[in-house]
Structure 1
Amino acid sequence: MSLRTKLLSILDVVLRVPPIFAMDSILVSGFSAFHNSNSQRIINLKAPNAPENLTADQYISIKRNITYTLVEHDDYSVLAELTDFLGWILIYSHVFLISFAMFLLPTKHLISVYVWLSSIGVIVWSYICNEEYVRFVNSLSQTTIAFELLSLNFNVIWRFLGNYLLQVFLAILFCFASSSPQKILPKRMVGLCFIIPTVLSLLPRIPNMILMFGPIAAASVAFLHVCLNVIYSAHSIFQSLYGGIIWSRTFMRHYGLYTLLENQWTRLHVPQVLRVFWLTRLTEQAVLLIADSTHEHYLDTGVISLPFDTQHLWITSKQLMMRGCETVIAVLGMTSVVSSICYQIGSLMQSFLLVEDPEDRSIGTVSAILFFILALQTGLTGMEPEKRLLRLYRNLCLVSTAILHFIHNMVSPLLFSLSASRNMSINRHGRALLVCLFLVVFPIWFLSHLWSYHPVSTWLLAVSAFSVEVIIKVVMSLLIYGLFMIDAYRSTIWEQLDDYVYYIKATGSTVEFIIGIFLFFNGAWILLFESGGTIRALMMCVHAYFNIWLQAKSEATEEQLRKFDDVCAICYQELNTARITRCNHYFHGVCLRKWLYVQDICPLCHETLYAITEDEANDNEAEHDHMD
């Protein structure tokens, strides 16, 4: 990727962050205010024959056929408040939809929108400065600006020249930002309108009404120019949008909805935009919290200092995490950050294990989906701050167990490949065994910590089951790895090896099946007796199916063997059971393992099933020479 392409991608990401902030601000301030207003309205209603001082929830629980009477409001005020309430909902909804539409715009049109918004910002800035200058001129009731300038009044000269130069600068910015053709309104003529109030102030005996009208007139002309510019460009924008809709329909007809969504996901740089949004939002809130703490410390002690003690940092971190998932958009941003962290963990593990498998890096995507679904089904955004922090902590614990399963899925095939192919590289074996040691020690420490500080609950039982499952999988993998390594050093064929491997796998599959049954009943309990348990129970069942049931079925199924209907290409015997290589070829498990003793390629297509580097090959040769 060239430098220009990278810079354009960064620019596109930066341009799409403000609409996300606008939508998030509406969710934080707008709709939450509507909810609070609605709750307060319920409190202000009183049911006949009902006890005093009822809360909103208690009123909701009263029968629906109770007739409510107003306590503090008459019918007109209630109707006015309801109209105002609906009006604000309509306004916030339109702003939200406009922000979302801005986010979806192509980069070219998005830049045009920012140009228009910057033009409006320049107009507002010019109006405020002109209004302030006119008030200053009107305060000189006994004299005029021209007289004061001729009298070399430096205060007046400073105000006059300052406003004049500022308006000239704003006029240049406006002309630069405006992209309309000259046939609508000449840009330079519109720019001259910015200095109208400054020029009018020099005229002698000018009425105050005309002088006060100057800033409004200047801003109105410039705003009219922007409106005409928008109207002139509306046709091309709508034509582009219509062309985009036609293109999307054609693309979806040929390639499907999923491919279209994936294409737009890439075009909009959604993960990067959400990540930048959440980190920027977190930084903004951190600055505000530190500023508030510094102000409180100054009021208490009279000394300005930044509170950097451990307790304050811990409290600030908790508040940031609570605020970092208070809206759905904030949760999406946090999900993107979690996805990036998990992806880096997967890449780090691949680098440490010296393997390269693109499928293993899907840990970021799967972890992000898991985290977001957990946030939705637990109602993370609608909780109280303290409960939200606790739920976030629990969700992250579940995501951590999923990461452990992914790491095991990386290291387990590597262990079998190293042992079956007689690769004696101490470096590769040592790295894989260190990861296995981590997968055993960390879950044990993790469970001891959780059981020490948390009471027994369905969440804790689920995390414990997932962690124990990881430990069992690692132990089974190490046992099979040990048997293969013993067989590699034997000079004769070990005929009982396959039986021992079968017994170990059968034992591990049995234990995993028991864990799956436990998770099923745990999910049923959540579904029946806990709020929001439907998705949680469904996720546990999905986990039990994909990570336990399908993992237990490691060999080819009877249906696959029936469709294959052929013999093993190594021994030419009938395939009652078979192993499937990554190139989708079928062999007896024993035959394939013996083949890998001498070759690391597929017997049929010669695709590399396991590759080692040149340094490792030299290490193997040196070690074999040493053994000889």
Structure 2
Amino acid sequence: MALKEKLEAVLNVGLRVPSIMLLEVLYRWDVSSFFQKIQRSSLNNNPLFQYKYLALYLHYVGYILSLVLLTLPRQHLVRLYLYVLTALLLFAGHQVSRDYVRGELDSGYEGPLYLDPLSMNRFTTALIGQLVVCTLCSCVMQTKQIWLFSAHLLPLVARLCLVPLETIVFINRFAMVFTGLEVLYFLASNLLVPYNLAKTAYRELVQLVEVYGLLALAMSLWNQLVLPVLFMCFWLVLFALQIYTYFSTRDQPTSRERLLFLFLTSIAECCSTPYSLLGLVFTVSFVALGVLTLCKFYLQGYRAFMNDNTMHRGMTEGVTLLILAVQTGLIELQVIHRAFLLSIILFIVVASILQSMLEIADPIVLALGASRDKSLWKHFRAVSLCLFLLIFPAYMSYMICQFFHMDFWLLIIISSSILTSLQVLGTLLIYVLFMVEEFRKEPVENMDDVIYYVNGTYRLLEFLVALCVVAYGVSETVFGEWTVMGSTIIFVHSYYNVWLRAQLGWQSFLLRRDAVNKIKSMPTATSQQLEQHNDVCAICYQDMRSAVITPCSHIFHAGCLKKWLYVQETCPLCHSQLKSHPPPAANAVAPEGAPQAPQEPANQNQTPINQIQEAASHIHEAANQNREVTAQADLIAGTAKECVDAAGEVDADSQSHLSAVAIKQEAQLEDRASQSQCLEHAFNDPQMGQGVWEGHQAATTCPEQ
């Protein structure tokens, strides 16, 4: 992003912050209660009380003006602020001129200026000030007609001409009236500008709604106004003003204990309206985003920004704060009560941030443990972050238990931190197992089962924690005070944290048990079968010393196939369903005359003679068919060559096409000849006839020419 674009983005946010500040002031200032106080104080004759309804109308006009400032395009907003700045400069020039006239009246000197040093100093100071005001006004308004802003120079010119002081007072008033008339003329000449802007904006909004819809319009306004950054800047300004006000009114230094209380009370003061609450929500979201970004950078460095996860944007923490604040009626409480409630809400937000940090760190730590990366710095960063996530939630839970009395709501809040610590502990144990396996010369055969047991253990602990929370809540509901909200929370917590976890755990257990039963039901490949197979495992690409044979006659490592069956119940190669069958009895004798059961893949070497002869006859027929196809291909190739020889007068494109046909036919001829030799060899060796015939049936015999 170029520097100009950055400045425009900063201006787009900074120029709209006063509109939110104005909304905040208007919300806090209750006009009706203000006039009721005036009426109770027996000041009915006060002129201010006579303009009660006018003040009410101005109150609503202020809301409209704030919304206009908030939604005005940036170019028009900059122009409006320049006009306001010019008006302020003209007012400053009027103040300088009035102060000079008062100074001259107090001195009473009407002689030449050079004879009185004090009068000369006052004149010089006022003249420089007025010249600066005129120059700034002409620069801001981008005009060379500097005389339009020089009316306040008239009293100075009159004093230089030795005009009496009473006349100078009149001239000063005339200059003020003249400047006011200029401002009124400018406003009258631009009176229709707001109407034209509103008309243009309405036309554009209607077109956008017709073409893209309301949702696209809302997203466009959200991106153009940059509302999250705008509300965050507004809240930070409000919070800084609150801190400055506190320290400017106190002379004594603040203790460490009072700093935490000051922090909470300042936040509580800055979320007393819906606008400031939204500002706090977006501020918390950006703080969470910053913490999660630092966590990614600490673990992975600059590589973390290449594959950024859209799930960790900090919006979860902001939405959590907003829901809890609305549910508990935060803005309606007193400041002290609001501060204590905010401490609990912020604890929940911090627990959510820690959970998001764990979601970022968990796959990185496990991948680092499973890889062969020996960088000590990477391992130190991963382990140190996990230790922080293990200790800090427990410390937070201990501290909040020291401040508040234990009840059902506090137990639910603490349980999230306890679950985070348990998850980190499980991640560290798996990381240690991976590192132990890395330092061993031979891999641990049952490492997958050990990892499953570790995961199952801390998942069981999580389930027990959730179950204890539900049991405590039910006992408090039965023997204590019953509320609809408490019962709803217990029901939701029971469904999501107890029932769903129990269901997922049971399904995982059944899936593993079914996979183990399937592996046990499959026959084990003999050493002779492994030698004939002469291939690696299709899952791990390692040599096979022991393996199992699937019903579809594929051979895999038993451990590799079991891991595969944990995920899906199909063959890794042909994707046929693998169903568990009871293993056949070793000494079972089939009754005489009964149909012979199909042989297992382990007995493929003992194929019956009649099956070999049948396969050999099929191979012989296929060889004869292949000879016929070879002869046809030879005839087509010869014809193509003759066509090429006879194409002496044909164009180059036709000759190249015929040559390509001839080359293609020759290649097919050679392929058919080699296939025929292979089939004849298989026919002469009936022992391998069955396997060759099956491969011949599985492949395409010959494409149609």
- TM bucket, shorter chain: 0.5 to 0.7
Stretch deviating more after TM superposition (494-503 or 98-107)? 494-503
Q: Match of 2:154? A: 196
C-alpha change, 1:135 and 1:358, in structure 2 (3 Å) is: same
Report the Cα distance in structure 2 between the residues aligned to 1:371 and 1:148, rounded to whole angstroms. 71
Alignment of 1:273 onto 2:230: yes
Amino acid at match of 1:590: K
Partner of 1:58: none
1:263 alignment counterpart: 220
CA distance in 1, matches of 2:286, 2:400: 26
1:514-569, Cα deviation, whole Å (9 max, x unpaired): 267469869999xx977xx96x99889778777777777779999xx9xxxxxxx9
How many residues are treated as equivalent by the alignment? 515
1:220 aligns with 2:180: yes
| In structure 2, C-alpha distance between the alignment counterparts of 1:410 and 1:85, rounded to whole Å | 58
Q: Is the CA contact 1:274–1:332 (under 8 Å) kept in the aligned structure 2?
A: yes
Identity %: 20
Once residues 337 and 565 of structure 2 are traced to their aligned partners in structure 1, the CA distance between those partners, rounded to angstroms, is 54
Structure 2 residue aligned with 1:169: 132
The answer to whether the 8 Å contact 2:474/2:490 transfers is no
Return closer, same or farther for 1:245/1:518 CA change in 2, 3 Å cut-off. Answer: farther
Is the 1:469–1:515 Cα contact (8 Å) retained in structure 2?
no
Q: Distance in 2 between matches of 1:519 and 1:555?
A: 23
Q: Within the alignment, does 1:160 sit opposite 2:118 as a pair?
A: no
**Stretches of structure 1 lacking an aligned partner (at least 5 in a row):** 45-71, 181-185, 298-306, 562-568, 575-586, 596-602, 605-628
1:413, distance to aligned residue in structure 2 (A): 3.3
Does 1:464 find its partner at 2:414?
A: yes
Deviation of the 1:508 alpha carbon: 4.9
Q: Is 1:373 the equivalent of 2:323? A: yes
Q: Could you tell me how far 1:427 is from its partner in structure 2?
A: 5.7
1:110 shift after superposition: 0.9
In structure 1, what is the equivalent of residue 397 of structure 2? 447
CA contact (8 A) 2:281 2:318 kept: yes
The residue type equivalent to 1:352 in the other structure is Y
Of 507, 511, 521, which aligns to 2:464?
511
Deviation digits for residues 368-409 of structure 1 (CA, Å, limit 9, x no counterpart): 121233233333333222222211111111111112221232
State whether structure 2 residue 91 is matched by structure 1 residue 124: yes
User: Secondary structure at the residue paired with 1:293?
Assistant: coil
Structure 1 CA distance, aligned partners of 2:82 and 2:562?
A: 66
Query: Taking structure 1 as reference, are residues 469 and 392 closer, same or farther at Cα in structure 2, changes over 3 Å only?
Result: same
Residue in structure 2 matched with residue 626 of structure 1 by the alignment: none
Cα distance in 1, alignment partners of residues 194 and 475 from structure 2 = 57
* 1:90 is aligned to 2:70: no
Do the aligned residues in 2 keep the contact of 1:193 with 1:222 (CA within 8 Å)? no
Which residue matches 2:280?
Answer: 334
For the 8 Å contact 2:467–2:498, the answer to whether it is kept is: no
Per-residue deviation at 1:428?
5.2
Q: Is the 8 A contact 2:158 2:168 kept in 1?
A: no
| Cα gap change, 1:537 to 1:230, in 2 (>3 Å) | farther
The residue number in structure 2 matching 1:5 is 5
Within 5 Å, which residues of 2 pair with 1:51-450? 87-139=54-106, 144=110, 147-149=111-113, 152-178=115-141, 187-201=145-159, 202=161, 204=163, 207=167, 210-211=170-171, 213-228=173-188, 230-231=190-191, 233-234=193-194, 237-246=197-206, 248-250=208-210, 252-253=212-213, 257=215, 259-294=216-251, 307=253, 310=256, 316-317=262-263, 319-354=265-300, 356=304, 358-359=308-309, 362-418=312-368, 431-450=381-400
Deviation track 1:279-335 (CA, whole Å, cap 9, x = no partner) reads 3333333333322224xx6xxxxxxxxx46657756654553343333333333333
Displacement of 1:15 after TM fit? 1.8
**Could you tell me how far apart the structure 2 residues matched to 1:167 and 1:211 are?**
15
Asked if the contact 1:419–1:484 (Cα under 8 Å) also holds between the matched residues in 2, the reply is yes
Range 396-405 or range 424-433, more displaced: 424-433
CA contact (8 A) 1:138 1:208 kept: no
Q: Does the 8 Å contact 2:470/2:490 carry over to 1?
A: no
Contact preservation (8 Å) 2:463, 2:498: no
Q: Secondary structure at the match of 1:362?
A: coil
Show CA shifts across 1:569-589 (max 9, x none): 979999xxxxxxxxxxxx999
Post-superposition CA distance 1:571-610 (Å, at most 9, x none) = 9999xxxxxxxxxxxx999228899xxxxxxx99xxxxxx
Q: Distance in 2 between matches of 1:98 and 1:373?
A: 30
Unaligned runs of 5+ in 2: 512-537, 541-548, 552-559, 569-573, 576-705
Alpha-carbon separation, structure 1, partners of 2:95 and 2:476: 61
Residue 612 of structure 2: aligned partner: none
1:393–1:505 Cα change, 3 Å: closer
Q: Distance in 1 between matches of 2:475 and 2:12?
A: 46
- Could you say if the C-alpha distance between residues 247 and 2 of structure 1 is closer, same or farther in structure 2, counting changes exceeding 3 Å? farther
TM-score computed with the length of structure 2 as normaliser: 0.61
Q: Distance in 1 between matches of 2:172 and 2:497?
A: 74
Contact kept? 2:152, 2:172, Cα under 8 Å: no
Contact 1:282–1:324 (Cα < 8 Å) also in 2? yes
Larger Rg: 2
* 8 Å Cα contact 2:426-2:454 kept in structure 1: no
Q: 1:121, CA displacement in angstroms?
A: 1.0
> In the alignment, which residue of structure 2 is the partner of 1:25?
25
After TM superposition, the score normalised by the length of structure 1 is 0.67
- The Cα shift of 1:17 comes to 2.1
8 Å CA contact 1:458–1:522 kept in 2: the answer is: no
Match of 1:304 in 2: none
One-letter identity of the residue aligned with 1:346: L
The alpha-carbon deviation at position 474 of structure 1 amounts to 3.5
The answer to whether the 8 Å contact 1:271/1:336 transfers is yes
Contact 1:349/1:407 (<8 A) preserved: yes
> Given the superposition, is the C-alpha separation of residues 519 and 495 from structure 1 closer, same or farther in structure 2, using an over 3 Å criterion?
same
How many Å apart are 1:80 and its aligned residue? 9.3
